[in-house]
């Protein structure tokens, strides 16, 4: 497994098999990080000597706890694992809501609970939670929006606890991003709205922002929700 070294500090990335998570992995490896990916499956067509995969179902709290205990020494945590299930009032699915809460919030809590105290003791560390523009509220996506909005509260609370120890905690919230999630049959009745720039956000654009937030130049940014929205947040 990659280990934290002076040449390659260790970053942990959940949801590393595809989409935004894989783009983040590739960006961090290119910028000199060793990366340990957490997801049910390894990336299908990409490998690198600085990347190792740890198979874990983050919907399983016990499995997530076991994986978190193996991550000592990480200098950065990026929680990018996500799933989207939609449903209007009258058709809300409690099991879908529970799954999104566990994956987005429960897994984040477990990973942070193990990694952030060690970062604080070391006097350095970075955490990025992948949020969503939908956290502002959107018809038909209340359960998803609630789980993503919770990440902002977690990030601000954790940031307040570790700010004096050189650790930052932030949320990066993309608008609709060009990933396989948009092709999920569970959401085909609700097509994504294009941002004002006229196209979907690209995974590599999200990855570039995450990489900056993890960099030394972002040491003064903490407790913030950073939106990459193609102008979707301009109307107020």
Q: Point out the residues that are catalytic.
A: 144
* Cβ pair 187, 141 in contact under 8 A: no
Alpha carbon distance 126, 146 (integer Å): 24
Q: In 22-157, which ranges are E strands?
A: 34-39, 51-55, 76-79, 125-130
Sequence-separated (6 or more) residues with CB below 8 Å from residue 31: 211, 215
Q: Count the neighbouring beta carbons within 10 Å of the beta carbon of residue 152.
A: 18
Q: How many CB atoms within 10 Å of residue 39?
A: 23
Report the alpha-carbon distance of residue 190 to residue 63 in Å, rounded: 33
| CB 57, CB 15: distance < 8 Å | no
Of the candidates 174, 225, 226, the residue with the CA atom closest to the CA atom of residue 200: 174
Q: Half-sphere exposure of residue 137, counting CA atoms within 13 Å on the CB side?
A: 0
CA gap 172, 179 in Å, rounded: 16
């Amino acid at each position: 497994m990659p280990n934290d070294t002076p040449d390659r500090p260790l970053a942990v990335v959940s949801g590393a098999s595809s989409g935004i998570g894989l783009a983040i992995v590739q960006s961090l490896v290119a910028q000199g990080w060793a990366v340990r990916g957490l997801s049910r499956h390894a990336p299908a067509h990409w490998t690198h000597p600085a990347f190792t995969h740890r198979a874990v179902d983050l919907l399983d709290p016990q499995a997530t706890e076991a994986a978190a205990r193996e991550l000592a020494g990480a200098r950065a945590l990026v929680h990018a694992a996500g799933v989207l299930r939609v449903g209007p009032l009258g058709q809300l699915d409690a099991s879908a809501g529970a799954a999104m809460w566990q994956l987005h919030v429960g897994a984040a809590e477990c990973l942070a609970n193990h990694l952030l105290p060690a970062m604080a003791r070391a006097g350095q560390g970075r955490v990025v939670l992948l949020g969503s523009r939908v956290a502002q509220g959107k018809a038909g996506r209340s359960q998803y929006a609630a789980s993503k909005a919770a990440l902002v509260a977690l990030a601000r609370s954790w940031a307040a606890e570790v700010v004096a120890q050189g650790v930052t905690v932030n949320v990066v919230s993309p608008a609709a991003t060009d990933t396989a999630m948009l092709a999920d049959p569970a959401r085909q009745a609700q097509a994504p709205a294009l941002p004002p720039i006229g196209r979907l956000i690209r995974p590599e654009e999200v990855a570039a922002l995450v990489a900056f937030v993890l960099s030394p130049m972002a040491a003064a940014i903490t407790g913030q929700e950073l939106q990459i929205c193609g102008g979707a947040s301009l109307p107020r």
